[in-house]
Amino acid sequence: MGTQGQQMEQQPLYIVGKRHTTTKTFQSIDPSTNQPITSVCTADREAVDLAVKAGRTAFSQWSATSPVERSRILLKAASILRARNDELATLETRDTGKPFSETSTVDVITGVDVLEYYAHLIASGGLDGETTQLRPDAWVYTTKSPLGVCAGIGAWNYPIQIALWKSAPCLAAGNCMVYKPSEFTPLHALQLAEIYTEAGVPPGVFNVVQGAGDVGAMLTSHPGIAKVSFTGQVSTGSRVAASAAAGMKYVTMELGGKSPCIILPDADLDSAVDGAMMANFFSTGQVCTNGTRIFVPDTLLAAFEKRLLAKMPLVRGGPVMDPSTNFGPLVSRPHFDKVGSYIRHGIETDCAKLLYGGLGAPTLPSGTDPAGNWIKPTIFTNCTDSMRITREEIFGPVMTILPYSTSSPKYLDTLIARANNTTMGLAAGVFTKNINLAHSVMARIEAGICWINTWGESPAEMPVGGWKMSGVGVENGRKGLEAWTRGKSVLVENGGSVGTVYAKL
């Protein structure tokens, strides 16, 4: 059935290295059963102020520690996280509904990879500035300083990974953080905070406040916050960025997408089918970089669909802790209703051809709780660009196949224009054996995260961020560390002159 387990203790906030309770609470719900797991304290204005103040107090000490010292502490946290991988993955499965086969091999691990990456980077010069010799007796040097107290606001799809992708570079650069997870997936936050403390992160450097959007809004407008790092929907991101702009805060915005996956006529069809499945059904389609618009040459459409249908039984719903389950329920009832309404719209209004899945019975994988948010992996084919299901982010397991003609010599221009014809620009991919063609398609694609002959991998070394409405700035990679610093340039004149203008008078 679900992840059941015992009722958990109430989840407090975490401020100044200690648990902090409030009187108002909300429920955390198991998506595989829709039963409450526990209650979570909601932060009020006083708690948010306290958390920001804790960060400001801790900042002077933490920012003054050497990068090597911070690195040592963060590496210790990484090793505790790795040692507790399965326990944390079980909690994440309970909170998100993702199968344990996924959370135990991806969610915690890819978060810790980033923590280790930044710990190593700061110990090996990642925060160094540059020196430029201007003249024999004058030079410019630059430094990178931490920003202060930063807000991390997370989405529900990769809770602990998002918490680590934000806090790792934030803390590594010498900042403090007040972190607010999504109220749909709050349970990882206390665990992470206590692990940081156990590893030696001083009190007040990493604080947790819990609650809904209003708590996030208190952070984005708080005068004590220097930067807002946000992951979520485009519409929320616009509000968050506007609020942060009013206080001239730094922002990083990791937002939604409607990414194209282009299969060219010479592609290896098996690998293209695998890529398309990965780009739509992993994590029950709740991945921001999903390639939900699959462009297939009309000449290959029948063969593509045949191979895809043959492989669909590999997408296996089932009890979320069962190691053979790789497809879980959707994260919440409101999200279940939203995805269901898109599938209904695809069938009834867009009149797309339903190739697989849909809303009819049976919807329930065997051994699961009928009260869970189960939905079938769904494929629509013969879709067109104007359909709502091909234009809007569904954030569920709904693939749309868009056939294209190769009869015109200019077909590639039309194809790329169609792929780019969206207000978003998060990710894109191309499948082809012609590597020159792959690079020329990539050069013309309007997206920040791109793959050639694969889909979805996002290692610590790879900076990721969206173009257009999909975001501002990047996370991960060397650039991801810079996003948590501000620069200073110092010109040094060593020749005894303050300049030439007055010296000549």
- Region for residue 174 given its phi and psi (left: phi exceeds 0; alpha: psi -120 to 50; beta: otherwise): left
Residue 107 beta carbon to ligand NDP: minimum distance, rounded to whole angstroms: 12
- Reduced to 3 states (helix: H, G, I; strand: E, B; else coil), residue 76 is helix
Neighbours of 86 (CB within 10 A): 12
What's the CA gap between 345 and 350, in Å, rounded? Answer: 6
Instruction: Give Cβ neighbours of residue 314 (< 8 Å, ≥ 6 apart).
Output: 277, 326
Instruction: Give Cβ neighbours of residue 251 (< 8 Å, ≥ 6 apart).
Output: 227, 228, 229, 230, 240, 241, 244, 245, 472, 473
Question: What are the phi and psi torsion angles at 394 (to 5°)?
Answer: -95, -35
Cβ nearer to ligand NDP, comparing 415 with 447: 447
104's enclosing H/E stretch is none
Strands (E) located in 43-137: 131-135
Q: Give the residue from 168, 153, 176 showing the smallest Cα distance to 251.
A: 153
Q: Which residue is nearest to ligand NDP (CB)?
A: 216
| Eight-class DSSP state of 42 | P
Instruction: Give Cβ neighbours of residue 60 (< 8 Å, ≥ 6 apart).
Output: none
Is-catalytic flag, 446?
Answer: no
Do strands 467-468 and 424-425 pair parallel, antiparallel, or not at all (unpaired)? antiparallel
What's the CA gap between 145 and 226, in Å, rounded? Answer: 12
Residue 477 beta carbon to ligand NDP: minimum distance, rounded to whole angstroms: 13
Cβ nearer to ligand NDP, comparing 12 with 232: 232
Q: Catalog residues that contact ligand NDP under the rule CB under 6 A.
A: 153-158, 180, 182-184, 212-213, 216-217, 220, 231-233, 236, 239-240, 254-257, 288, 393, 395, 426, 466, 471
| Eight-class DSSP state of 500 | S
Retrieve residue 290's tokens: 């999903």
Do strands 378-381 and 353-356 pair parallel, antiparallel, or not at all (unpaired)? antiparallel
What's the CA gap between 389 and 231, in Å, rounded? Answer: 23
Cβ nearer to ligand NDP, comparing 211 with 318: 211
What's the CA gap between 498 and 430, in Å, rounded? Answer: 56
What's the CA gap between 350 and 315, in Å, rounded? Answer: 26
Instruction: Specify whether the CB–CB gap between 113 and 74 falls below 8 A.
Output: no
Catalytic-labelled residue, pool 92, 254, 305, 475: 254
Residue 70 beta carbon to ligand NDP: minimum distance, rounded to whole angstroms: 25
Residue 478 beta carbon to ligand NDP: minimum distance, rounded to whole angstroms: 18
Cβ nearer to ligand NDP, comparing 288 with 300: 288
Retrieve residue 130's tokens: 């540059």
What's the CA gap between 78 and 57, in Å, rounded? Answer: 25
CB-neighbour burial class of residue 224 (10 A; exposed 0-12, middle 13-18, buried 19+):
middle
Retrieve residue 97's tokens: 């509904």
Residue 245 beta carbon to ligand NDP: minimum distance, rounded to whole angstroms: 13
Residue 388 beta carbon to ligand NDP: minimum distance, rounded to whole angstroms: 16
What's the CA gap between 342 and 378, in Å, rounded? Answer: 11
What's the CA gap between 15 and 388, in Å, rounded? Answer: 44
End-to-end CA distance of the chain: 87
Residue 335 beta carbon to ligand NDP: minimum distance, rounded to whole angstroms: 7
Catalytic residues: 254
